[in-house]
Amino acid sequence: MNQLRLPPLPTIKDLIKLYNLRALKQLSQNFLLDERITDKIVRAAGNISNHVVLEVGPGPGSISRSILKKHPCKLILVEKDHRFLPTLQQLQEACEDKVKIDIQIGDIRSYDFDIGFKNVQSSDWFGVPPPIHLIGNLPFSVSTILLVNWLHSISEKQAAWKYGRTSMTLTFQKEVAERIVAPPGHEQRCRLSVICQLWCEVRNKFLIPGKAFLPKPDVDVGVVTLKPLKYPLTDVPFKMAEKILRNIFNMRQKYSFKGASRLFPEDIRDELVSRMYYVADLDPHIRPFQITNEEYCRLFYAYKIISEDHPEILEYDSRAPKKNVLKNIV
């Protein structure tokens, strides 16, 4: 389809001046003004023509304009900061005869995807992905938390993934983007690397220099695409996988069994961690960042097997405060 030609509009820079919009540090706001870069972000998402696109944190609407040029059938804008409402409404009015734009002022973490996507035809998980995309220049302060929450939803086929394998094109701090795609042995390999790669195909598409943003952040920014896998690498519950990874990576530079042992109560710790690595057929002296995704899946399976004999370990948390034993209380 031909690119949608937007009507004449003030530049984003002019709108920022007109409405006296200042990026708020407490909301990790940084405006992206270069149209060539916003166009490149949208191209990374692939074909969005006649699809439904939800943009997270559109701000004054720079990426929104690049999305609209690709002629989606609907654009949902979820923006927490009400100050941007006039600029987004201006865009909405300019495109009212061309693309349906739905503006929601609120936190994406509480957004009801069922409302935005209620008329979208669901796709079979193992078939063609649904005509839905999530795109966003995420605030640094919530990007990792938001991503982990969405991975949890992917694992349960809920929220935006109730409709099929909805893809995401998102921005992260350069270091976080590198962590998401880091392979075994990489210096950035961490819990986030594994949890993303268990449920998604991840690609670090390109780097945006910090100078492209206003105000200029202290770091460069990576654009990452995440496409849910038809067949996740593990079938253990998300929370179980996350718990195991959190404990193992808590001691990233030590032998992995050191962190894994924290999964078990002290009185049976040595016995069960040895059994876990024996069942997983893995050297306990390997370090967390050296373990492959497939080997982590074997550790998950081993832990699950052990939990069937020792169900109490499922609720065990080594970080929980020890209960005080009060004596001789009258």
**Pair 188, 254 in one domain:** no
Write the DSSP string, 296-318: HHHHHHHHHHHHHH-GGGGS--T
Does pLDDT of 228 surpass 90?
A: yes
Q: What is the pLDDT confidence band of residue 330, given thresholds at 50, 70 and 90?
A: very low
Of 222, 313, 210, whose CA–CA distance to 260 is shortest? 313
Amino acid at residue number 201: E
Of 249, 247, 222, 269, whose CA–CA distance to 319 is shortest? 247
73 within a domain of the structure (yes/no): yes
Q: What is the CATH classification number for the domain harbouring 262?
A: 1.10.8.100
**Pair 129, 42 in one domain:** yes
Task: Among 171, 197, 228, give the residue marking a domain's end.
Answer: 228
7 within a domain of the structure (yes/no): no
Query: Contact, 62 vs 38, CB < 8 A?
Result: yes
Q: What is the CATH classification number for the domain harbouring 211?
A: 3.40.50.150
Total number of domains in the chain: 2
3 within a domain of the structure (yes/no): no
**Pair 26, 164 in one domain:** yes
6 within a domain of the structure (yes/no): no
Give the three-class secondary structure for 234.
Answer: coil
**Pair 175, 294 in one domain:** no
Q: What is the pLDDT confidence band of residue 33, given thresholds at 50, 70 and 90?
A: confident
4 within a domain of the structure (yes/no): no
- Report the pLDDT value the prediction gives residue 320, as an integer from 0 to 100: 83
Give the three-class secondary structure for 12.
Answer: helix
**Pair 82, 117 in one domain:** yes
1 within a domain of the structure (yes/no): no
**Pair 21, 164 in one domain:** yes
Would you put residue 84 in left (φ > 0), alpha (ψ -120 to 50) or beta? alpha
**Pair 66, 23 in one domain:** yes
Task: Among 169, 198, 228, give the residue marking a domain's end.
Answer: 228
**Pair 126, 170 in one domain:** yes
List strands edge to edge, sheet with 132-136: 100-105, 74-79, 52-56, 132-136, 167-173, 221-228, 200-208
**Pair 34, 62 in one domain:** yes
pLDDT digits (tens, 9 = 90+) for 43-79: 999 999 999 999 999 999 999 999 999 999 999 999 9
Cα pseudo-dihedral 50, 41, 166, 107, rounded to 10: -100
- Report the pLDDT value the prediction gives residue 10, as an integer from 0 to 100: 82
**Pair 84, 110 in one domain:** yes
Give the three-class secondary structure for 105.
Answer: strand
**Pair 194, 248 in one domain:** no
Give the separation between CA 178 and CA 277, rounded to whole angstroms: 29
**Pair 223, 272 in one domain:** no
322 within a domain of the structure (yes/no): no
Does pLDDT of 188 surpass 50?
A: yes
pTM of the predicted model, to two decimals?
A: 0.92
Task: Among 170, 198, 228, give the residue marking a domain's end.
Answer: 228
Domain extent for 169: 12-228
β-pair partners for 207: 222
Does pLDDT of 327 surpass 60?
A: no
Query: Contact, 207 vs 221, CB < 8 A?
Result: yes
The residue with greater pLDDT, 247 or 142, is: 247
Query: Contact, 132 vs 117, CB < 8 A?
Result: yes
Under 8 Å CB-to-CB from 232, ≥6 apart: which residues?
A: 155, 198, 199
Give the separation between CA 89 and CA 84, rounded to whole angstroms: 9
Give the three-class secondary structure for 101.
Answer: strand
DSSP state of 217: P
